[in-house]
Amino acid sequence: MKTYTNPVYPYRRHADQDGAPARHDVVIVGAGPIGLALAIDLALHGVGCVVLDEDETVSVGSRAICYAKRALEILDRLGVGQRIVDKGVGWNVGRVFLRDALAYRFDLLPETGHRRPAFVNLQQYWLEQFLVERAGELPAIDLRWRNKVTGVVPHADGATVTVDTPDGPYTMQAGWLIACDGARSPVRHLLGLESEGQVFRDRFLIADIHMQSDFPTERWFWFDPPFHPDQSVLLHRQADDVWRIDFQLGWDADPEDEKRPERILPRLRAMLGPDAKFEIEWASVYTFQCRRMKSFRHGRVVFAGDSAHLVSPFGARGANSGFQDTDNLAWKLALVLAGRAPERLIDSYDAERTFAADENIRNSTRATDFITPKSAASRTFRNAVLELAKEHPFARRLVNSGRLSVPAVLADSALNTPDTDADFARTPGAMIPGAPAADAPVAGPLGDWLLGHVGNDFTLLAFGNAVGGADVAALAHAPIPCRVVQVGGGATAGATVIEDREGLVARRYDGRFGTIVLLRPDQHVAARWRAFDAARVRAAMARATCND
Amino acid sequence: MGTLNTEPNLSAPDDFYEELIGAHRGLSDGESALVNAKLVLLLANHIGDREVLAQALAAARGGIGEP
Ligand SMILES: Cc1cc2nc3c(=O)[nH]c(=O)nc-3n(C[C@H](O)[C@H](O)[C@H](O)COP(=O)(O)OP(=O)(O)OC[C@H]3O[C@@H](n4cnc5c(N)ncnc54)[C@H](O)[C@@H]3O)c2cc1C
């Protein structure tokens, strides 16, 4: 590769490798994006962990490129969002072509007043490198390269883990073992567990090329283009003038043959024109699957990211949903380890994230079925939709080249306190209990955005002087603390006051004087009321932490 | 939410039927299938009511293949 050199993270012998097995509260298997994000999140909650990775570098070749707004917001909370945004390329607009004509154009973030765009594109190795560097700033993280997990024996209070290293094997005891070890998940296999779903009978050539081009920074998707008849093609811009091109090849394509430059170059020339100057950075042939484990928690062994669930890339729901796993898991694990919540709080991780995984799988499966129709009738309807879309607006809503990653609304979660005030908005996008918190422009001590002021701890968003100083202090000093962020109004001792610069906090949260919104540490709405009542807040927090 | 109307509702049904068949004149089976699919989608959007559409899908599929 011309634009990136994989760093080498050296193996270091650790004291654990001599003497009796050490015990660690949390051991994470895998330093991919998800394992790293979890380690950082735990460290921010004051929980130390050991991270084991069999490799000595970040990911190699063409993998994730699109990080969705919600993932960026999580990465902001972890302290790496800005680096990713600065290095990557942001985009909101997509175009879908049928043959040689534009079928339609969509804008994923039509409204302003959000810190982050709908998507930022960045090669996965950069993302991982930034996460490794962020982890390096946090002494609570003990990251061990070339430490390959080869054995796991689960117990009631943890697991015994066998690790192979260049100096030979050693064992350790883990209070909690979090398997972030990717789609093939050796931990899953060692435990004899399955991940079930379907494989799509199609193959895709994924090529990353380096080229100077004036294509706009948009997602372009073609059905049946003249340069690649009967199949689909996707074009995306990444950092450093690298472009991602996916060619659908069909099930009968020979993956080994299709990887050869002699096969790839004519395809690229047909698409980009005979004069285009480019170099291939990386190319591989993929088959995609959608599947998940039945349960993400097995006693003290918990699965997150690709080990737990796998989707086809149409919709960019892989890493994006993995970051939502760690967002969900980290604070719960921190509370359980601190003895402030019962272990069954981790069951809510399973319930909430399997629900989200099903939504992601449903969306990716629908897109993949549209792109790769399974029957003649399905192909006919697909083509009919595309034909109609050229002229008729209704059909454009049916074209599915990937419904791009949006976070799940955990509306049915047992951690939510249902609304008791009947006049709250419940329209799509409303901040109902279970919704991920919407961003909005503010002016406050922690910057210009609402999401910079909430999360990590429980946060009470109070519109105006709704919570008195004594209550603010009581919330701050409770066993599970809750900060008060006050939107507008005069100063209250102990509360952070922010200004609603454009009135969008009030609009997005359906807030008026006195409205209270309780946010979880992962920035999801737990409860909301039209007036503050300390007992109701305590009850909602107890419910959100399984202390009820 | 409505109910699928299966009582006579077309004015001049013979004229409509002729038009429907006429719309396929000179087409290959593949082209005909495409026209039918477009027609289904246009009409489905016009109806809009998901309940009615679900009843129509069930009525159309009834008795054909595995239930
Ligand atoms: C072509 C393609 C395009 C994609 N595009 C997108 C996209 O645009 N957006 C998106 O969100 N997602 C996308 N994805 C998905 C994304 O790449 C994955 O979801 C993501 O990498 C999952 O991260 P992870 O940390 O769970 O697993 P991985 O990235 O697979 O990391 C697993 C880690 O575990 C380590 N490991 C494995 N076994 C052991 C062991 N026994 N001991 C120790 N360590 C071990 C590995 O070395 C590795 O570092 C794409 C995927 C592909 C293939």
- Reported ipTM exceeds the 0.90 cut: yes
For residue A111, what pLDDT is reported? 87
In a domain, B21, yes or no: no
Residue B67 has pLDDT above 80, yes or no: no
In a domain, B60, yes or no: yes
The predicted-structure confidence for A358-369, as pLDDT tens digits, reads as follows 999 999 999 999
Say if the Cβ atoms of B38 and A387 lie within 8 Å: yes
Residue A166 has pLDDT above 80, yes or no: yes
Chain A interface disruption, residue of B32, B38, B61, most A CBs within 10 A: B38
The predicted-structure confidence for A59-113, as pLDDT tens digits, reads as follows 998 899 999 999 999 999 999 999 999 999 999 999 999 888 888 888 988 789 9
Determine the average pLDDT of the residues in A451-474: 97
Give the DSSP letter of residue A14.
-
- Euclidean distance between CA atoms A30 and A239, whole angstroms: 25
C-alpha of residue A123 to centroid of ligand 1, in Å = 12
Residue count of chain A, please give it: 548
Q: Looking at beta carbons, which residues of chain B come within 8 Å of A377?
A: 33
Task: Answer yes or no: is the C-beta of A402 below 6 A from any ligand 1 atom.
Answer: no
Contact between residue A167 and residue A285 where contact means Cβ atoms under 8 Å apart: no
In a domain, B12, yes or no: no
The predicted-structure confidence for A286-318, as pLDDT tens digits, reads as follows 999 999 999 999 999 999 999 999 999 888 999
Chain A nearest C-alpha distance from B36 (Å): 9
In a domain, B14, yes or no: no
Name the residue with the closest Cα to ligand 1, atom 30. A182
Structural domain count, chain B? 1
Contact between residue A233 and residue A225 where contact means Cβ atoms under 8 Å apart: yes
Who's near A48: CB < 8 A, 6+ residues apart?
A: A24, A25, A26, A42, A140, A141, A142
Task: Answer yes or no: is the C-beta of A52 below 6 A from any ligand 1 atom.
Answer: yes
Q: Which sign, positive or negative, has the C-alpha torsion A392, A94, A327, A200?
A: positive
Contact between residue A180 and residue A29 where contact means Cβ atoms under 8 Å apart: yes
Chain B interface disruption, residue of A224, A230, A370, A387, most B CBs within 10 A: A387
| % of chain B surpassing 70 pLDDT | 100
Name the residue with the closest Cα to ligand 1, atom 21. A319
Architecture label for domain A441-544 = 3-Layer(aba) Sandwich (3.40)
| Long-range contacts of A248-255, Cβ-Cβ distance < 8 Å, separation of 24 or more | A248/A202, A248/A203, A248/A204, A248/A371, A248/A372, A249/A202, A249/A203, A249/A204, A249/A205, A249/A285, A250/A202, A250/A203, A251/A201, A251/A202, A251/A203, A253/A203, A253/A205, A253/A285, A255/A203, A255/A285, A255/A287
Q: Looking at beta carbons, which residues of chain A come within 8 Å of B30?
A: 380
The predicted-structure confidence for A327-351, as pLDDT tens digits, reads as follows 999 999 999 999 999 999 999 999 9
Domain range for B46 is 27-67
Task: Answer yes or no: is the C-beta of A316 below 6 A from any ligand 1 atom.
Answer: yes
C-alpha of residue A365 to centroid of ligand 1, in Å = 19
CA angle A181, A124, A282 (to 5 degrees): 105
In a domain, B48, yes or no: yes
In a domain, B59, yes or no: yes
A-B interface: how many C-beta pairs under 8 angstroms?
28
- Euclidean distance between CA atoms A249 and A254, whole angstroms: 9
Give all strands (DSSP E) within A350-498, no chain letters. Answer: 441-444, 447-449, 458-463, 482-487, 496-498
For residue A110, what pLDDT is reported? 79
CATH of domain A15-85+121-194+290-362: 3.50.50.60
In a domain, B6, yes or no: no
The domain segmentation of chain A, as residue ranges, is 15-85+121-194+290-362, 441-544
C-alpha of residue B59 to centroid of ligand 1, in Å = 46
Side-chain half-sphere of A466: how many Cα atoms within 13 Å?
Answer: 25
In a domain, B2, yes or no: no
Residue B1 has pLDDT above 80, yes or no: no
Strand order in A242-248's β-sheet?
A101-107, A93-98, A219-223, A232-237, A242-248, A204-211, A278-286
- Euclidean distance between CA atoms B62 and A101, whole angstroms: 39
C-alpha of residue A181 to centroid of ligand 1, in Å = 8
| % of chain A surpassing 90 pLDDT | 90
Say if the Cβ atoms of B33 and A392 lie within 8 Å: no
Question: Which amino acid, residue A373?
Answer: P
Say if the Cβ atoms of B41 and A384 lie within 8 Å: yes
Q: Looking at beta carbons, which residues of chain B come within 8 Å of A392?
A: 42, 45
Task: Answer yes or no: is the C-beta of A440 below 6 A from any ligand 1 atom.
Answer: no
For residue A104, what pLDDT is reported? 83
Determine the average pLDDT of the residues in A378-401: 92
Chain A interface disruption, residue of B27, B32, B41, most A CBs within 10 A: B41
Q: Of A405, A401, A79, A471, nearest to A246 (Cα)? A: A401
Q: Looking at beta carbons, which residues of chain A come within 8 Å of B45?
A: 392, 394-395
For residue A404, what pLDDT is reported? 85
For residue A374, what pLDDT is reported? 87
